[in-house]
């Protein structure tokens, strides 16, 4: 059975698309057959993160019933599949977000994992992504507005009977004003699964249109996302030795 995971958040801009593209790259590296679907039907942007913004046939065509799914699925260099959404305003016409569930039902059984990059919030579009999935991976930042919105998303996910696969806290700087892991866990009543630091390597990788786990695999961000990918499939991750000496040896002998 295909694992259908919706990566979602209450508040926008917390790092869902970044996490989705990098998790997919990490999981593909673990020999998992993975597909990423842009559930952000009105403001899609996974194509920009993965250097495929102008796909000829898109999820919108499939949802409108004018194309077959297999014509809208692309293989990324990193070894996973992508079902991108169309980026132009016109492409949105005649597309009902609720049909996403039918598209995904048709893909069930073809992959080890389908990861849906959801729209933020509690609106119809975000709920369509959640409805289409069995599991929810919640992303937040370590601040009260983001965590308060995450709590609402969590409640909706529970009402819909979804499995809560994890909570990812992104853009952590360990500043005094941030919420701590304990405070976030107390507020959400769910353990935090991954803590991803704020790191310039992320916007740099987006500008390069490649996953940061490829552009900067030794960065703490990449280490944590790779660890999360391992955990998602029940594998133990052996952290790399990041000391200067080992990096110099790695540089010479890699």
Ligand X SMILES: Nc1ncnc2c1ncn2[C@@H]1O[C@H](COP(=O)(O)OP(=O)(O)OP(=O)(O)O)[C@@H](O)[C@H]1O
Q: By the criterion CB under 6 A, which residues form the site for ligand X?
A: 9, 12-18, 40, 120, 170-171, 196, 198-199, 202-203, 206, 221
Closest-CA residue to 80 (of 56, 113, 48, 103): 113
Do 119 and 39 contact (CB within 8 A), yes or no? Answer: yes
Distance separating alpha carbons of residues 63 and 96, to the nearest angstrom? 7
209: left (phi > 0), else alpha (psi -120 to 50), else beta?
A: left
Q: Who's near 85: CB < 8 A, 6+ residues apart?
A: 38, 40, 41, 44, 46, 47, 58, 59, 60, 91
Regarding 17 and contact with Mg ion (CB under 5 A), the answer is: yes
**CB of 172 vs ligand X, minimal distance in Å:** 8
Q: Could you tell me the two tokens for 77?
A: 């260099």
| Contact window for Mg ion (CB under 5 A) among 12-20, 79-87, 88-96, 210-218 | 12-20
* Piece in contact with Mg ion (CB under 5 A), picked from 10-18, 48-56, 184-192, 235-243: 10-18
Nearer to ligand X, 45 or 110 (CB): 45
Pick between residue 99 and residue 195 the one whose CB is nearest to ligand X.
Answer: 195
72 contact, one of ligand X, Mg ion, none, CB 5-8 Å limit per kind: none
Residue 18 touches which member of ligand X, Mg ion, none, C-beta under 5-8 Å by kind: ligand X
Nearer to Mg ion by C-beta: 29 or 121? 121
When the beta carbons of 104 and 108 are compared against Mg ion, the nearer one is 104
Minimum distance of Mg ion from residue 182's CB (angstroms) = 28
Partner in contact with 104, chosen from Mg ion, ligand X, none, beta carbon below 5 to 8 Å by kind: none
For the bound state, the minimum distance from the C-beta of residue 91 to ligand X, rounded and expressed in Å, comes to 17
At its nearest, how many Å lie between ligand X and the CB of residue 46? Answer: 8
Residue 211 interface partner, choices ligand X, Mg ion, none, CB cut-off 5-8 Å depending on type: none
- Residue closest to 178 by CA, chosen among 145, 132, 137: 145
202 contact choice in Mg ion, ligand X, none (CB below 5 to 8 Å, kind-dependent) = ligand X
**Which stretch, 13-21, 74-82, 122-130, 137-145, contacts Mg ion (CB under 5 A)?**
13-21
Q: Please report how close the Cβ of residue 161 comes to Mg ion at its closest, in angstroms.
A: 25
Residues found near Mg ion in the complex (CB under 5 A): 16-17
């Amino acid at each position: 059975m295909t694992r259908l995971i919706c990566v979602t958040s209450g508040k926008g801009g917390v790092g869902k698309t970044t996490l989705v593209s990098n998790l997919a790259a990490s999981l593909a590296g673990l020999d998992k057959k993975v597909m990423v679907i842009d559930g952000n039907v009105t403001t899609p942007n996974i194509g920009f993160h993965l250097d495929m913004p102008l796909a000829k046939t898109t999820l919108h065509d499939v949802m409108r019933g004018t194309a077959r799914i297999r014509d809208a699925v692309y293989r990324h260099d990193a070894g996973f599949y992508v079902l991108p959404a169309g980026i132009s305003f016109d492409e949105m016409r005649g597309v009902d977000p609720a049909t996403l569930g039918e598209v995904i039902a048709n893909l069930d059984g073809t992959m080890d994992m389908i990861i849906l990059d959801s729209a933020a919030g509690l609106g119809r579009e975000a709920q369509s992504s959640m409805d289409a999935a069995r599991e929810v991976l919640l992303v937040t930042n370590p601040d009260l507005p983001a965590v308060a919105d995450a709590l609402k998303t969590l409640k909706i996910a529970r009402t819909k009977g979804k499995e809560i696969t994890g909570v990812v806290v992104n853009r952590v700087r360990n500043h005094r004003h941030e919420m701590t892991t304990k405070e976030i866990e107390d507020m959400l009543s769910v353990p935090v699964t991954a803590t991803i630091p704020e790191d310039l390597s992320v916007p740099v990788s987006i500008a390069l249109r490649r996953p940061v786990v490829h552009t900067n695999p030794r960065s703490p961000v990449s280490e944590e996302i790779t660890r999360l990918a391992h955990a998602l499939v029940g594998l133990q991750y052996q952290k790399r030795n990041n000391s200067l000496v080992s990096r110099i040896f790695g540089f010479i002998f890699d």
